[in-house]
Amino acid sequence: MTSLSCHMRGQRRLMLIAVSVSTALALTACAGSDDSAEAGRADQPSASPSQTPKGAVTRQEAAAIVDKYEAVNSQANAKQDEKLLGTVEGGQLLEQNTADYEQWETRTAKDQKRYASPFRYISRDYYIPAGQTWFAVKATVDDTKAVGLLIFDQLEGLGWRNVAALFPGDGKKHTPLPAIDTSNHGLATAVNRTTRTGTMTPNQISAAYEDLYATGGQGGGRGLAPTWITREATKNYKERNSGKEANFTETSFEAVDPAHQAIYALKLRDGGTLAMIPTAHTRRYELKAEFITNYTITPTKVEAIYNPAKRVSVVNEFQGMALAQLPTNGKPSLIGREYRMVDSQ
């Protein structure tokens, strides 16, 4: 409960996978006084019709890559070994999981135990696009019913890395993945990031999505079909200045460049497109002008990992990814999203 005195505090709950990670706000009176190289991995041309199409791997080779990832990732999670994790992960996924390691001490014992427990991907289906350097895997984590999509790519000079993973759903209800087209001799078909399906191209999705946070959908966000994800983002915008902290602070969101720019898109059986999109934004909350002279903001435990200093503004950076379904007609729908706070200044 926030009260105005020499020490004033207002608490909000941290949600690690929510887009707007809330922050604990302490307003303290100052005694005595009156802040591409990854243009898209699906851009390579596919094999010509006269050639037998080939993907980057066979299904057996893909299975071995995923098996290795399971084993190494479980070892890295058990020790929060960022260097070891980096031997099997890359892209936005590595950005997020590195942040998890950095924020380890702020997790509950229950969350730490669950995170560090070994896991397996079961009921796998492999989608290997012709003429590309990457492949996708549809799989279920062994102790859940959630079905997700993982992307493995041959990053230049590094070899195979898991670069993206999303399990569609809102945490209460799982969203099934749409059927991916494999009519090309059993192979999948990659879709270029600039190829329009319905009303948008894959590389337009992130800006439209982030517009929901920045303006409530007054710009490009209007081009997205309504889902729980768009409603969540719009709610964050509408409620950005609600609560008792709003008496002292103002909050805003701003789209920023994702740490990694690659977009991975596949043709669906119905002619649509399924695209894994990188996305990112900052959330700034700062003291109103009339309070800057006498008060400062005390960062939360998570924010203090990156910057423990009391300050007049806090800017939190979130790196994320989203899974979009682009129909042949109409607006694209976001069916999955995940963010991590990766910095706070």
| Positions of the chain with pLDDT under 50 | 1-40, 45-47
pLDDT at 143: 75
How many degrees, rounded to 5, is the angle at CA 35 between CA 34 and CA 37?
175
pLDDT at 170: 81
pLDDT at 42: 54
Closest to 65 measured CA to CA, from 121, 143, 14: 121
What span, in angstroms and rounded, lies between the C-alpha atoms of 285 and 248?
10
Contact 333, 322 (CB under 8 A): no
CA distances from 276 to 131, 158, 262, 271 (A): 18, 21, 9, 17
Q: Which amino acid is at 286?
A: E
Return the structure tokens found at 64: 């071995």
Cβ burial, residue 11 (10 Å; 0-12/13-18/19+): middle
Contact 150, 264 (CB under 8 A): no
The 8-class DSSP code of residue 43 comes to G
Closest to 343 measured CA to CA, from 303, 312, 283, 284: 303
Closest to 286 measured CA to CA, from 307, 316, 308: 316
What span, in angstroms and rounded, lies between the C-alpha atoms of 200 and 183?
24
**Could you tell me the residue ranges of all domains in the chain?**
7-344
Enter the pTM of the model. Answer: 0.86
Distance of CA 6 to the CA centre of its chain: 39
pLDDT at 124: 97
User: Strand locations in 142-187, DSSP E?
Assistant: 147-155, 159-166
Return the structure tokens found at 182: 């494999």
How many degrees, rounded to 5, is the angle at CA 104 between CA 243 and CA 82?
130
Go through the chain and tell me how many residues it has. Answer: 345
